[in-house]
């Protein structure tokens, strides 16, 4: 006779896991294809990028599997500490940061190089989720407009605003946009008053616009964006070569590995501009399929969020979905010159350790959380 009281083993969300592995595997293949000529020219080693990316992939996968075994209650407990550590790392960048490609956004800890702004994306999501889980009644069920504004809008914006300010001092406009988008949308998802969020969004948009218009670095990029042909040998080179790569791919592409534009025509072909090489090699149809995989991953995260009862777990899951969606859309927009070039990586595709490992960690958290969703049904 079957013992009905026997506990059912908790299982992770297999669909979420498989989608993550498939997207990251395809992304790694394109790092290999897109990065070979550039790596040969710059490092005299055609396999420089792929060797490192496979290492990042192995570390990230291990981190994801380990993170999936940690109870979500543990993540909730350590969130305040993680948030404070992140702020300390962002401050450290301003003082002791390494300069690369004209930007000061990295710190070196022994043999490891970190980009704290990538960590800030995750901890900001966790911090907002933690805040609303602790202040639900005052923030979401207010007795007065004053209480609604203070606890539902002002304090949450302060939580996301502090890391945004530190990132702004690094002149990292793309990360400011991503953090701001994550913060505003997550506060809305939490149930805060939309009127106050609208006013806050308008104010934040005005600040970002002012930063863009009155900072030489960003002002120059806006000027180039408006007329890249006029700067085809300087600031417009990357945009024009990327558009040429996209156009060269046509409907079905020139074939995997056969890109011409990756041969030192497109700048950073394995990083920010990798989607242009994707379009050239597998064409419009292939690029749409890649974006469809991202859609399935984001949809899976949102479906998981809808099945969760805990505020912390639900908001963390929604926040990861918002982050992936925002970065994907902005990267495609940059590559197609829909918006000014702001240097945004494509999740799971662009070369880089900090971004890839943090994304895997976030998916690992969601896999852990998914056990509770399945256990409660």
**Predicted pLDDT at 1:** 37
pLDDT exceeds cutoff 60 at 331: yes
Q: At what angle do helices 173-190 and 116-134 cross, to 10 degrees?
A: 20
Q: Which two tokens stand for residue 158?
A: 């302060």
**Predicted pLDDT at 362:** 97
Per-residue CA distances from 372 to 72, 102, 290 (Å): 9, 45, 30
Cα within 13 Å of Cα(37), Cβ side:
16
**Predicted pLDDT at 142:** 67
**68: Cβ contacts below 8 Å, ≥ 6 apart:** 12, 364, 365, 367, 368
Q: Which is more confidently placed, 217 or 133?
A: 133
Residue 164 φ/ψ, nearest 5 degrees? -60, -40
pLDDT exceeds cutoff 80 at 109: no
Q: Which two tokens stand for residue 298?
A: 């984001």
Among 117-121, 278-282, 291-295, which stretch is predicted with the lowest mean pLDDT? 117-121
Q: Report the distance separating Cα 208 and Cα 201, nearest Å.
A: 10
**Predicted pLDDT at 212:** 65
Q: Report the distance separating Cα 78 and Cα 68, nearest Å.
A: 15
Among 27-41, 56-70, 147-161, 287-301, which stretch is predicted with the lowest mean pLDDT? 147-161
Average pLDDT over residues 344-353: 93
Q: What percent of the chain has pLDDT over 90?
A: 61
Q: Are 304 and 13 in contact (CB under 8 A)?
A: yes
**Predicted pLDDT at 275:** 97
pLDDT category at 343 given cuts 50, 70, 90 is confident
Beta bridge partners of 114: 107
Domain segments of the chain as ranges: 19-67+228-377, 73-214
pLDDT category at 299 given cuts 50, 70, 90 is very high
Nearest to 258 by CA among 76, 72, 42, 34: 34
**Predicted pLDDT at 3:** 44
Average pLDDT over residues 321-345: 92
pLDDT exceeds cutoff 60 at 375: no
What mean pLDDT is reported for the chain?
88
CB atoms within 10 A of CB 92: 14
**Predicted pLDDT at 226:** 85
Average pLDDT over residues 300-313: 93
Q: Are 104 and 119 in contact (CB under 8 A)?
A: no
Q: Report the distance separating Cα 235 and Cα 228, nearest Å.
A: 7
Residue pLDDT, tens place only, 83-107: 999 999 999 988 887 766 556 677 8
Q: What is the 3-state secondary structure (H, E, C) of the chain?
A: CCCCCCCCCCCCCHHHHHHHHHHHHHHHHHHHHHHHHHHHHHHCCCCHHHHHHHHHHHHHHHHHHHHCCCCHHHHHHHHHHHHHHHHHHHHHHHHHCEEECCEEEEEEECCEEECHHHHHHHHHHHHHHHHHHHCHHHHHCCCCHHHHHHHHHHHHHHHHHHHHHHHHHCCCHHHHHHHHHHHHHHHHHHCCCHHHHHHHHHHHHHHHHHHHHHCHHHHHHHHHHHCHHHHCCCCCHHHHHHHHHHHHHCCCCCCCCCCCCCCCCCCCCCCCCHHHHHHHHHHHHHHHHHHHHHHHHHHHHHHHHHCCCCHHHHHHHHHHHHHHHHHHHHHHHHHCCCCCCCCCCCCCCCCCHHHHHHHHHHHHHHHHHHHHHHHCC
Record the pTM: 0.91
Average pLDDT over residues 226-249: 88
Cα four-point dihedral sign 50, 55, 61, 64: negative
Nearest to 156 by CA among 196, 195, 116: 196
**Predicted pLDDT at 213:** 66
pLDDT category at 4 given cuts 50, 70, 90 is very low
**Predicted pLDDT at 232:** 82
Residue pLDDT, tens place only, 160-209: 999 999 998 887 778 888 999 999 999 988 887 777 777 777 777 777 67
**What is the distance of C-alpha 190 from the center of its chain?**
20
Average pLDDT over residues 12-39: 95
Q: Which two tokens stand for residue 265?
A: 């025509």
**Predicted pLDDT at 257:** 92
pLDDT category at 288 given cuts 50, 70, 90 is very high
Q: Which is more confidently placed, 56 or 203?
A: 56
Residue pLDDT, tens place only, 137-155: 887 766 777 787 888 888 9
Per-residue CA distances from 369 to 22, 104, 121, 267 (Å): 21, 35, 19, 39
Beta bridge partners of 107: 114
**Predicted pLDDT at 217:** 66
């Amino acid at each position: 006779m079957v013992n009905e009281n026997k506990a059912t083993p908790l299982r992770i969300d297999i669909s979420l896991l498989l989608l993550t592995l498939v997207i990251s595997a395809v992304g790694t293949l394109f790092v290999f294809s897109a990065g070979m000529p550039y790596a040969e020219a710059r490092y005299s080693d055609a396999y420089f990028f792929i060797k490192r990316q496979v290492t990042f992939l192995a570390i990230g996968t291990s981190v994801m599997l380990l993170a999936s075994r940690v109870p979500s209650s543990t993540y909730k407990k350590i969130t305040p500490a993680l948030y404070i550590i992140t702020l300390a790392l962002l401050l450290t960048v301003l003082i002791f940061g390494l300069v690369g490609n004209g930007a000061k956004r990295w710190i070196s800890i022994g043999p490891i190089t970190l980009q704290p702004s990538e960590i800030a994306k995750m901890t900001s999501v966790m911090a907002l989720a933690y805040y609303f889980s602790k202040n639900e009644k005052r923030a979401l069920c207010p007795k007065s407009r004053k209480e609604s504004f203070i606890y539902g809008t002002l304090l949450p914006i302060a939580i996301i605003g502090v890391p945004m300010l530190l990132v702004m001092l690094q002149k990292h406009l793309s990360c400011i946009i991503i953090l701001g988008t994550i913060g505003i949308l997550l506060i809305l998802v939490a149930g805060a008053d939309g009127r106050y969020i609208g006013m806050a969004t308008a104010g934040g948009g005005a600040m970002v616009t002012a930063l863009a218009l009155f900072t030489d670095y960003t002002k120059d990029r806006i000027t180039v964006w408006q007329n890249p042909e006029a700067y085809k040998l300087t600031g417009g080179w990357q945009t024009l070569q990327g558009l040429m790569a996209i156009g060269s791919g046509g409907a079905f592409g020139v074939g995997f590995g056969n890109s011409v534009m990756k041969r030192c025509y497109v700048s950073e072909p394995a990083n920010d501009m990798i989607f242009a090489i994707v379009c050239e090699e597998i064409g419009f149809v292939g690029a749409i399929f890649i974006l469809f995989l991202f859609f399935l991953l984001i949809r899976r995260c949102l479906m998981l969020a809808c099945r969760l009862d805990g505020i912390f777990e639900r908001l963390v899951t929604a926040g990861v979905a918002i982050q992936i969606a925002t970065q994907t859309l902005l990267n495609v927009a940059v590559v197609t010159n829909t918006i000014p070039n702001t240097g945004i990586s494509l999740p799971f595709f662009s070369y880089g350790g900090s971004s890839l490992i943090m994304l895997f960690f976030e998916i690992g958290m969601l896999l852990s959380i998914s056990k509770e969703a399945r256990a409660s049904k």
